Amino acid sequence: MSKRRKKGNDIHGWLVLDKALELTSTDAVNKVKRLLNANKCGHAGTLDPLATGVLPIALGEATRTVAWLMEAQKTYEFTIKWGLSTTTQDAEGEVVATSEVRPTTQEIENIIPLFLGEIDQIPPKYSAIKVDGERAYDLARDGEEFELAARKVQTYELKLIANDSISASFFVRSGKGFYVRSLARDLSHKLGAEGHIIHLRRTSVGPFKQETAITLENLEKMCIDAPALQLLLPFETALGDIPVLAIKEAEVFDLRQGRKILVLPPQMDELKAKRRPRNISGQDMSRAVLAVCDGVAIALGDVRAGYFQPFRVFQT
């Protein structure tokens, strides 16, 4: 039996997309996949339809590094409109409460420290979290009663940018699993006010910044007028803070066969010095190392007892 032909081309790398308003993350991926005629495509970190900004699109072998990028810090700019809260904590939902309270700048500044560091956060009911196998947003739209448990999340930075009698704008730098809509809800409640998000923009995901992001409209023009593939960043960009092991060309074959290779003592000491705590998809990856030959990423692996054992080999 002949192998089924792949649909699309083998394209490897990251595209930093500037997602437009009202576009879902899935639709964005599908449009990029079609424009570039790629056979494998995904994204790292969903953006709500009413949010704009950085949506890293993984192509080819980059899809195998998505889990690493999901752990990266993210930054957002958002605006809370005072006066009413909604079911979705944004402008899409139905109004559930109103208030005449308008927090002062000093009142907001006073509570910001309460939301820094590791905090407990209850995700929005209108989110993709699964409850007994069902998406929370599907249950919420069907009017089902359910509760979501609080989760530990990390806020590295939170700043008030502007505030008036109508709205307040903020900047936040957060860790994995953080919901800006939940932050807006909790800030409002702590202030004794009602509020919902009217503007949300993600400005960075790990190494990917809004300054280098491209809109779908401009990507389409690039596909017509110039080689759009020049926009792609190497797939190992998502692994930028992982210790690197330089290997010889003769060792590449062994790694691609899944065999371990010897690590010399000086290299071992250097890798140990660069090791840091790292949790990827619930697994301890503090010993993870990226093997590179002549600038080309070959494999991810563990370094133990003087050997590098690959657990993910890149085929490029």
Span 98-124, pLDDT tens digits: 999 999 999 999 999 999 999 999 998
User: CB of 205 within 8 A of CB of 45?
Assistant: yes
Residue 1 has pLDDT above 60, yes or no: no
Whether residue 5 lies inside any domain: the answer is no
| Claim to verify: residue 42 and residue 141 sit in the same structural domain | no
Separation of first and last alpha carbons in the chain: 26
- Region 263-285: mean pLDDT is 88
The interaxial angle of helices 216-225 and 25-36, nearest 10 deg, is: 0
User: CB of 216 within 8 A of CB of 21?
Assistant: no
Residue 253 has pLDDT above 60, yes or no: yes
Whether residue 258 lies inside any domain: the answer is yes
| Claim to verify: residue 169 and residue 99 sit in the same structural domain | yes
Residue 241 falls in the annotated catalytic set:
no
- Amino acid 6: pLDDT: 64
Beta-bridge mates of residue 288:
302
Mean of the per-residue pLDDT values of the chain:
91
The CATH number of the domain holding residue 90 is: 3.30.2350.10
Taking the model in full, what pTM does it have?
0.91
pLDDT tens-digit map of 133-149 = 888 888 888 888 888 88
- Amino acid 2: pLDDT: 47
| Claim to verify: residue 140 and residue 78 sit in the same structural domain | yes
Residue range of the domain that includes 263: 242-313
pLDDT tens-digit map of 162-211 = 999 899 999 999 999 999 999 999 999 999 999 999 999 999 999 999 99
Residue 225 has pLDDT above 70, yes or no: no
What is the length of the chain? 316
Q: Which amino acid, one-letter code, is at 298?
A: I
* 4 secondary structure, DSSP code: P
d(CA 191, CA 180): 17
Q: Which amino acid, one-letter code, is at 145?
A: E
Whether residue 8 lies inside any domain: the answer is no
User: CB of 14 within 8 A of CB of 208?
Assistant: yes
Q: Which amino acid, one-letter code, is at 142?
A: D
Whether residue 179 lies inside any domain: the answer is yes
Whether residue 4 lies inside any domain: the answer is no
- Out of 18, 48, 90, 186, pick the active-site residue: 48
Q: Which residues of 161-188 are buried (b: 16+ CB within 10 A; e: fewer)?
A: eebeeebbbbebbbeeebbbbbbbbbbb
Structural domains of the chain, count = 3
| Claim to verify: residue 180 and residue 105 sit in the same structural domain | yes
User: CB of 215 within 8 A of CB of 277?
Assistant: no
- Amino acid 212: pLDDT: 93
- Amino acid 46: pLDDT: 87
pLDDT tens-digit map of 21-80 = 999 999 999 999 999 999 999 999 889 888 999 999 999 999 999 999 999 999 999 999
